[in-house]
Chain A
Amino acid sequence: MIKLLFIVAWRNFCRDKLTSFIQLTGLIIGIASFILIQLYVDHQKSYNTAFTDAKDIYRVNLIRGENKPQAQTPLRLAKELTQNFSEVEDATRISPASVSVKHLQAVYSERALYADANYLDFFDFLLIEGDVNTALDAPDSLILHYELAIKYFATTTGVIGKRLTINGKDHQVTGVIKKPSTPTTMPLTMILPMVNFYSQISRPEWIEAWNFNATRTYAKIRQPANINTLIQTVSDYYDTRAKGLSSFKTNRVTIQPLLDIYLDNTTTKSLTPPSSAVMVMVFSIISFMILLLACVNFTNLSTAAAMRRGKDVGVRKALGASKIQLITQYLSEAVMLSAIASLCALVLVFLCLPAFNQLMNAEISFNVSVAQSLQLLCLTLLVGVLAGSYPAFYLSNLSPAHVLKGLVSTSKSGILLRQSLIILQFAIAAFLLVASLVVNWQMQYIKNMEQGFDREGVIVVSHGDNTYNAFKSQTLRHPDVIAVTMSHTVPTKATRTSNTVRRLDDISNEIWVGNNPVSLDFFKTYGIKLVSGRVFSNAYVNDAYKENKDDWQSSTGKLVINQTLATTLGWSPEEAVGQLLTLGGGQDGLHNHQIIGVVEDSHYVNVKNTVPPMTYVLSAQPKDLSLRWTSIRFKAGTSLQSLKDVEQIWLGLAPDLAFKYDWVVDLFDSSYRNESQQTDLLNVFTLLAIVVTAIGLFGLAAFNTQRRVKEIAVRKILGASTGQLCFMLVNQFSSLVMIANVIALPLAYLLMRDWLDNFIYRINMPYSAFMLSAVFSLMIAYITVMVIAYRAATAKPVDSLHCE
């Protein structure tokens, strides 16, 4: 009996090849998309899950004033937590920094993590070599990730005891970390003992300072129930100690589960760029939508084909088949088809995964484990039953007397259902269309937005303060170099220091500002335009900023401010020039400085953050105000040779310091990497959703046209032109598509409005997207149906009448 079931199913599949092919293609695309998106979603959710204690580990973030939470905390916070809060079982710190690695005469720049000795207790990576318990104990110890071990020693075994010179200090490899199979927010690089980080801090007192944030603090907390109370008490503890040290009015902490870190894109200064929980949820929904679309295709075509199967039902019923037997027959056909589709989808997923990984810059692997096989089996059954149940119940309910007379096709409910399903499909497609248009345009907008600086042709190099003056004078001799400067921070990176400023006539009104200490030529190098006044210059001896800690009043230095600050202070750019501002406060005394110029606003970090009011002060020598970044502007279209020349100058002056540069353009782009990837993904799956919808419509149109072939012939004989017939056939779907748009577009409007509201800099709601979506979905419907309509309308009428 079961054999017969499959034989009949197979023969039915073969009988109407077009319908079966369409059903199958739709299902394959649907299931494959579903699997791919789910793999992506699982991957996104799996960050940090491999660590044994993952559930008990939390990251402590600071919320200072009105700022977003930041992961960067004071160095002493970990110690304070373990000593004063019994809930905290243990705490560890991680400070990233770029280091110069010298090996076999060559110098490389690496991003290193300075960590406490208990790092591996928290983040229990597997070691290929080395002892987990002692690997970070010695001050010269060094743990390498497998990739770095291969880079420097061409092997991952027998590396223990080998040496690397890092920032001029000899280190001995004590452990090699195996490549983790689950993604983590821990950068896979080299790990050095925390003590080495201390030696890099320019002022030793900062190590114990409450307002010097230089590390990420992680805590193990075993009683998650009390987390809110703990947040309160730690916040109060932190606030009483940090108050007055900085310009921030409030100092709070949040304690965030390690497992939530990756999908939290609000908190700044995470070790790895975060993803977006909203986007992951959106993709989850899209995957279900596409699967639903595919199921709808299946149901739609199956009920449409019911006319053909109707006679079969009649005969079977007349021969004594029970309803259950018929349902079993039709459901098993559906499940068989969905099983075939699942297998093809699996193959498709395997084939697409490399391209998908490239698109998403991810390492998603797809191993068919027992659990995954079971899931797939459930999915197959679900799809089969979901897609096949309506046709099965519908067919089995037919009265044999009716179907034998061929009266199935005129069933009103069947037509209504098919139309509703088409509406549903087009509503989903129209919704996704609007969403991707709006998302794409918004992303384009923020990427192309005026940043207030010219990001083309500028490289930044970390460090260089010791040799800066010689480097600058030598480099400027190079014909391709336009300008060289050093600064505390550079565009695309967050401002690291802040100030409080007040107008002399309104001393109580404190304004928090970001502060960027720079050397000469900073504005020239970054192309930041002067609005009024002048920029720092050698010609004026008093431009350089110097705080006198013994006599605050006698501090010297001029200020350049940005437009936002001028506006905040209530001055036009012209009025601001020449005015005095009062700086300082907290433990520092107050001191006045004159504004000499106002420059255009420029974005630091990126346009996901608003432009803060900014002051720029001049650092006479890079060391004075701890300038960190050397920036070099080249002529447009400079060659790689120029970069090599500059590197030679650099290495000639500082042989132990790697010349690791980044183009500001690349830094800028990478700050939007996650968004760009997710936009791409949204586009791909919107396209797929449209394809699946079009496939379904094609099938249904083919079926409908087949049903009306006689009518078409009659109309043709009565004088209808090909155009008139095509229009008639195509037009039957346009009202459905319009209804779909009417349903989908208001929903899309509400959701996109909320989404856009999340952006500080946003486009106005683009109503053209809604127009385009409506027009485009109609066009899709027209083109799809036109293919069939044209064939039918140009057929010889006599042939159609013959096949009566």
Chain B
Amino acid sequence: MIKCNQISRSFIGDEVETVAIDKMNLTINEGEFLSILGPSGCGKSTLLNVLGMLDSIDTGEFSFLEKPVDKYSEQQRARLRKQHIGFIFQNFNLIDELTVEQNIELPLYYHNVAKAERKRLVDAVLKRVDISHRRNHLPAKLSGGQQQRVAIARAIVTSPDLILADEPTGNLDSKNSTQVMALLQQLNQEGATIVMVTHAPEHVVYGTRVLELLDGKVINDHLVKEKLSNKENQSVVGADSLVTANTEQRTAEVTCD
């Protein structure tokens, strides 16, 4: 689905140039649930923005559904984004003035979906994230977990091919986090490709693949299930993975959790 070849993105501040993504190669296949881990400032969010076409790259090649996105104009990227990608944010980014239902309906409205169809889709997705009883509430009246479920509903209502989640549990307590993660896992199992940035290593188990970043570079890239079996086999996976004992152990712990 996504192919990144030697992509770079840097930000020029007042005095220093910060390299957020440094000549990165990355391929994401359909049906994957990729968790991106790494310390603050390692380039996780930038990568997610690049993948979501909210940000452009400086150099390299980036294709989405075999389309050369790096050569696309802002407008073309916007169209592609609108058709194929749903977003989930750490701070939910619901529109305060709109009700739950209206928030979810908004992308459909921008997709020029007819009114009756909009209602049907919204009803379905409300049920799915189990928030139908709050449909007429304003976001401010909901708990954090409920707000995130609304945000997820909004992200998936257009049935996007790819869901990008930027620390979806960052503002949630553990109970709500678990619920949200379970929901994402279920979406993945139903066929959605998900890329999630997270600070919580314990959540990678919900996904299928883990990517670890440091200073704009991939330092670890492995499958969750393979990892488990690898641990049992005491062997190293992926000839091109730079797996250190440390990360291996941590991943193992996580997996066992």
A and B form one complex: yes
Q: Could you list which residues of chain A lie within 8 angstroms of chain B, going by C-beta atoms?
A: 710-711, 713-721, 724, 796-798, 801, 804
The residues of B that contact A714 with a CB separation of less than 8 Å are 93-95
A729 to chain B, nearest CB (A): 14
Task: Report yes or no: A718 in contact with B106, Cβ–Cβ below 8 A.
Answer: yes
The residues of A that contact B89 with a CB separation of less than 8 Å are 801
- Give Cα A801–Cα B95 distance, bound, in whole angstroms: 13
B227 in the interface (beta carbon within 8 A): no
Task: Report yes or no: B110 in contact with A720, Cβ–Cβ below 8 A.
Answer: yes
- Give Cα A305–Cα B52 distance, bound, in whole angstroms: 34
Task: Report yes or no: A718 in contact with B107, Cβ–Cβ below 8 A.
Answer: yes
- Give Cα A713–Cα B55 distance, bound, in whole angstroms: 13
Task: Report yes or no: A719 in contact with B107, Cβ–Cβ below 8 A.
Answer: yes
In the complex with contacts A801-B89, A801-B93, A718-B55 CB distance below 8 A: no
- Give Cα A717–Cα B49 distance, bound, in whole angstroms: 11
A726 to chain B, nearest CB (A): 14
Task: Report yes or no: A797 in contact with B91, Cβ–Cβ below 8 A.
Answer: no
The residues of B that contact A718 with a CB separation of less than 8 Å are 82, 87, 106-107, 110, 154
Task: Report yes or no: A724 in contact with B110, Cβ–Cβ below 8 A.
Answer: yes
CB-nearest residue of chain A relative to B48? A798
Task: Report yes or no: B111 in contact with A719, Cβ–Cβ below 8 A.
Answer: yes
- Give Cα A719–Cα B79 distance, bound, in whole angstroms: 8
In the complex with contacts A718-B110, A798-B49, A710-B93 CB distance below 8 A: yes
- Give Cα A360–Cα B96 distance, bound, in whole angstroms: 54
B117 to chain A, nearest CB (A): 16
Task: Identify which of residues 89-109 in chain B touch chain A, using a CB-to-CB cut-off of 8 Å.
Answer: 89, 91, 93-97, 106-107
Task: Report yes or no: A719 in contact with B110, Cβ–Cβ below 8 A.
Answer: yes
Q: Which of B52, B78, B95, B158 contacts A721 (CB 8 A)?
A: B78
The residues of A that contact B93 with a CB separation of less than 8 Å are 710, 713-714, 801
Q: What is the 8 Å Cβ interface bit string for chain B, positions 66-81, against chain A (1 contact, 0 not)?
A: 0000000000001001
- Give Cα A516–Cα B55 distance, bound, in whole angstroms: 87
The residues of A that contact B106 with a CB separation of less than 8 Å are 715, 718
CB-nearest residue of chain A relative to B87? A717
Task: Report yes or no: A798 in contact with B54, Cβ–Cβ below 8 A.
Answer: yes
Q: What is the 8 Å Cβ interface bit string for chain B, positions 195-210, against chain A (1 contact, 0 not)?
A: 0000000000000000
| Residue from the set A717, A718, A724 with the largest chain B CB neighbour count within 10 Å | A718
The residues of B that contact A710 with a CB separation of less than 8 Å are 93
Q: Which of B54, B81, B94 contacts A719 (CB 8 A)?
A: B81
| Residue from the set B49, B89, B110 with the largest chain A CB neighbour count within 10 Å | B110
The residues of A that contact B87 with a CB separation of less than 8 Å are 717-718
- Give Cα A719–Cα B106 distance, bound, in whole angstroms: 9
Q: Could you list which residues of chain B lie within 8 angstroms of chain A, going by C-beta atoms?
A: 49, 52, 54-55, 78, 81-82, 87, 89, 91, 93-97, 106-107, 110-111, 154, 158
The residues of B that contact A713 with a CB separation of less than 8 Å are 93
- Give Cα A714–Cα B104 distance, bound, in whole angstroms: 12
- Give Cα A711–Cα B96 distance, bound, in whole angstroms: 8
Q: Which of A715, A717, A721 contacts B54 (CB 8 A)?
A: A717
- Give Cα A715–Cα B96 distance, bound, in whole angstroms: 12
The residues of B that contact A798 with a CB separation of less than 8 Å are 49, 54-55
| Residue from the set A714, A719, A796, A801 with the largest chain B CB neighbour count within 10 Å | A719
**Given A711-B96, A717-B52, A719-B107, 14 more pairs with CB closer than 8 A:** A710-B93, A713-B93, A715-B106, A715-B110, A718-B82, A718-B87, A718-B107, A719-B81, A720-B110, A721-B110, A798-B49, A798-B54, A801-B93, A804-B91
Q: Which of B55, B110, B111, B154 contacts A796 (CB 8 A)?
A: B55
A418 to chain B, nearest CB (A): 16
- Give Cα A571–Cα B57 distance, bound, in whole angstroms: 92
- Give Cα A717–Cα B94 distance, bound, in whole angstroms: 12
The residues of B that contact A801 with a CB separation of less than 8 Å are 54, 89, 93
- Give Cα A797–Cα B49 distance, bound, in whole angstroms: 10
| Residue from the set A710, A713, A797 with the largest chain B CB neighbour count within 10 Å | A797
The residues of B that contact A721 with a CB separation of less than 8 Å are 78, 110
The residues of A that contact B110 with a CB separation of less than 8 Å are 715, 718-721, 724
- Give Cα A758–Cα B97 distance, bound, in whole angstroms: 52
CB-nearest residue of chain A relative to B112? A719
A339 to chain B, nearest CB (A): 37
- Give Cα A601–Cα B1 distance, bound, in whole angstroms: 88
- Give Cα A718–Cα B95 distance, bound, in whole angstroms: 11
The residues of A that contact B94 with a CB separation of less than 8 Å are 714
CB-nearest residue of chain B relative to A711? B95
7 closest Cβ pairs, A-B complex: A719-B82, A719-B110, A798-B54, A718-B107, A714-B93, A798-B49, A720-B110
- Give Cα A711–Cα B106 distance, bound, in whole angstroms: 12
B229 to chain A, nearest CB (A): 38
Task: Report yes or no: B82 in contact with A796, Cβ–Cβ below 8 A.
Answer: no
B66 to chain A, nearest CB (A): 22
A804 to chain B, nearest CB (A): 6
Task: Report yes or no: A715 in contact with B111, Cβ–Cβ below 8 A.
Answer: no
12 A-B contact pairs sorted by A residue (CB < 8 Å): A710-B93, A711-B96, A714-B94, A716-B78, A717-B52, A717-B87, A718-B106, A718-B110, A719-B107, A719-B158, A724-B110, A801-B54
The residues of B that contact A796 with a CB separation of less than 8 Å are 54-55
- Give Cα A710–Cα B93 distance, bound, in whole angstroms: 8
- Give Cα A419–Cα B17 distance, bound, in whole angstroms: 45
Task: Report yes or no: A717 in contact with B81, Cβ–Cβ below 8 A.
Answer: yes
A100 to chain B, nearest CB (A): 81
The residues of A that contact B91 with a CB separation of less than 8 Å are 804
A577 to chain B, nearest CB (A): 77
- Give Cα A719–Cα B154 distance, bound, in whole angstroms: 12
The residues of A that contact B81 with a CB separation of less than 8 Å are 717, 719
- Give Cα A717–Cα B103 distance, bound, in whole angstroms: 13
CB-nearest residue of chain A relative to B164? A717
- Give Cα A418–Cα B228 distance, bound, in whole angstroms: 62
| Residue from the set A711, A715, A798 with the largest chain B CB neighbour count within 10 Å | A798
- Give Cα A680–Cα B111 distance, bound, in whole angstroms: 52
- Give Cα A697–Cα B87 distance, bound, in whole angstroms: 34
- Give Cα A750–Cα B94 distance, bound, in whole angstroms: 48
